Amino acid sequence: MDKKSVDLEYELELLEDLYELVVPKFREANDIVVSMLDFPADRPIRLLDLGCGFGHLSSRLLEILPNAKVFGFDNQPAILQRAQKRTQEFGDRFVGLVRDLNESNWLQEMREIDAIVSTFALDYLPPERHRQLIHEAAASLQNGGRWVSCEFFRAKDDRINRVFHDIEVQLVQDKLRQGEVSAEEIDQLSNSSLLRQSHYVVDVAQKLSWLQEAGLKTVDIPWKFLNLAIICAVK
Ligand SMILES: C[S@@+](CC[C@H](N)C(=O)[O-])C[C@H]1O[C@@H](n2cnc3c(N)ncnc32)[C@H](O)[C@@H]1O
């Protein structure tokens, strides 16, 4: 392996191990996303996980919904490979697809989808593309199908932004003190080229309006913590 691929492997390993430790409320947010999917466990369903990353959420869905098939979309083949590994016990119930959500053909011929979920990923899309993707996603959902996503949002009150930032810093300091992570790892993580890609945080009202204009109903916010919010909707 050349130095570049060794570096990438190391960066991915670090991200996979540490991301959930340094994002405030990561587990709680995942719990709420999962709990919004009220499908009977015995019903065969098809779910999409947009920007599935290392497959944390996909694997929980596969565990809780034993008849579900999850299609995990990500534009990084090396990350998807790790998601495949994490979900290997579920066999072909997880299908990893290398797709760029910035391209309007990301869905290709995928139809009859029961739910679309996404955590900490859609804020990588420029706002106009994010809006379009919601329209494309809504069109692919079955009637009664669900949308559940969780992202960072820009708060109107700057105090909220500041408190969130302070909590992030505090969380990292706690993990350092507890020895769960080293200062060197945090340094490397903050220079991660994957995490440092551009982010486009919109405000929650904007996102709600995109879901409504795409024809989705009962658009709501089942959970919010400072700059983080989960948004759900039904077709
Ligand atoms: C911060 S990670 C979150 C991963 C996972 N959803 C989680 O919560 O652990 C964001 C993921 O979105 C993916 N991503 C970013 N931009 C993307 C795009 N344009 N198309 C597909 N995936 C993208 C990244 O590769 C990364 O795996």
DSSP per residue over 66-85, as a string?
A: TTEEEEEEES-HHHHHHHHH
Ligand 1 pocket member 72 (CB < 6 A): no
Tell the CATH topology of 3-234: Rossmann fold (3.40.50)
Ligand 1 centre and the CA of 100: distance in Å?
A: 10
| 53 CA distance to ligand 1 middle (Å) | 5
Report the pLDDT value the prediction gives residue 20, as an integer from 0 to 100: 84
Mean residue pLDDT of the chain comes to 92
Cα–Cα dist 106/158, whole Å:
35
* Ligand 1 contact, 106 CB (< 6 A): no
Segments making up each domain of the chain, as ranges: 3-234
Closest C-alpha to 235, from 148, 164, 109, 105:
148
Ligand 1 atom closest to Cα of residue 30: 8
Name the more confident of 179 and 57: 57
Q: Structure tokens of 82?
A: 């790790």
* Closest ligand 1 atom number to CA of residue 125: 19
Burial of 10 (0-12, 13-18, 19+ CB in 10 A): exposed
Tens-place pLDDT, residues 89-128: 999 999 999 999 999 999 997 888 999 999 999 999 999 9
Closest CA to 147 of 158, 155, 135: 135
Task: Tell whether ligand 1 has an atom less than 6 A from the beta carbon of residue 59.
Answer: no
How far, in Å, is the centroid of ligand 1 from the Cα of 13?
15
Q: pLDDT tens digits for 117-145?
A: 999 999 999 999 999 999 999 999 999 99
Distance between Cα 63 and ligand 1 center (Å): 21
- Identify the residue whose C-alpha is closest to ligand 1 atom 13: 51
Nearest atom in ligand 1 to 51's CA? 12
HSE of 33, CA atoms in CB hemisphere, 13 A: 27
Handedness of CA 196, 198, 201, 206 (dihedral sign): negative
Indicate whether residue 76 lines ligand 1 (CB < 6 A).
yes
- Reported pTM: 0.94
Among protein residues, the one with the nearest Cα to ligand 1's atom 1 is: 120
- Mean pLDDT is highest, among 122-131, 161-170, 172-181, 187-196, for 122-131
Percent of the chain with pLDDT over 70: 97
The pLDDT of residue 181: 84
Q: Is the CB of 133 under 6 A from ligand 1?
A: no
